[in-house]
Amino acid sequence: MDQLIKILIVEDNVIIADDMQSMLEDIGYEIVANVVDYESAVEALSSQDIDLALVDIVLASKKTGIDLGKHIRQNYNIPFIFVTSNSDKATVENAKSVKPNGYLVKPFEQQDLFTSIEIALSNFNDETSVITERSAVEEEDDGKMVSNSVLRNSIFVKKNQHYYRIPFDDIHYVKADNVYLEVYTEDKTFLVRSALKDYLEKLPSKQFYRAHKSYIVNIDQIEAINTKDIMINGKNIPISKEFREFILSNMNS
């Protein structure tokens, strides 16, 4: 089941923080916490499921948003955006040291906030896909390639101007349709602009396979198999001879 993006707001100006929350909720994001200082943000990160953080550089504590950015980089695999009134060279250089996924200067409009978040999520998703591919090469389990958990075993998929977080386990199969892909879950379909080969590289290599020139399938979702097809969620999907032999050779092994 798809889930709304969950956001942490870290802003010491309560009025601005409340305005940001209203903007984000109006767009369709979920705010899991709205805090004013470093310590409260650290607590929220440790106790909540968070997909992205919006962080003011100046906070109501001795430690700053830069310190929080460093904490996020060292302990969490999520993107964060600095939201600040400061755009001077010294502040920007200091902020760059912790590699934020965005930098938004106040005051801003709802569209500016939306654009910054969507770009940060999209770029972060692409970056972590590269990490997944490298990790699969570096790690082995009984001679088989395995992937690290990325974004808590999820991938971001865009639909209706929002990025939704889809757990890998919920993806049943992916079908190529010209320059687009149709990503199928149990009850929803998402349209993605990508090559099938490139999208396969974003998915866990032990779970998703190219079953046919036009299909990627989640082998955990296979319900039945015959000489030409497999069945997933009641849908017959064509398979190649090589994939059929792969499935049959691994049945009950």
**pLDDT tens readout for residues 167-225:** 889 999 999 987 788 999 998 888 888 888 888 888 888 899 999 999 999 999 999 99
Contact (CB, 8 A) for 105 and 64 = no
Domain finish residue from 91, 123, 155: 123
Range of the domain at 192: 171-250
Q: Is residue 109 part of a domain?
A: yes
Ranges assigned E (strand) in the chain: 6-10, 30-35, 52-55, 80-84, 102-105, 140-141, 144-145, 154-159, 162-167, 173-177, 180-184, 189-193, 208-212, 215-218, 222-225, 229-232, 235-238
- Predicted local distance difference test score (pLDDT) of residue 2: 53
What is the rounded average pLDDT of the residues 39-44? 96
The reply to whether 43 and 103 lie within a common domain is yes
The reply to whether 11 and 117 lie within a common domain is yes
Q: Is residue 81 part of a domain?
A: yes
For the entire predicted model, the pTM comes to 0.56
What does the pLDDT look like over 19-30, one tens digit per residue? 999 999 998 899
Domain finish residue from 123, 140, 159: 123
What is the rounded average pLDDT of the residues 238-244? 92
Q: Is residue 129 part of a domain?
A: no
Number of domains in the chain: 2
Of 126, 163, 157, 132, nearest to 146 by C-alpha is: 132
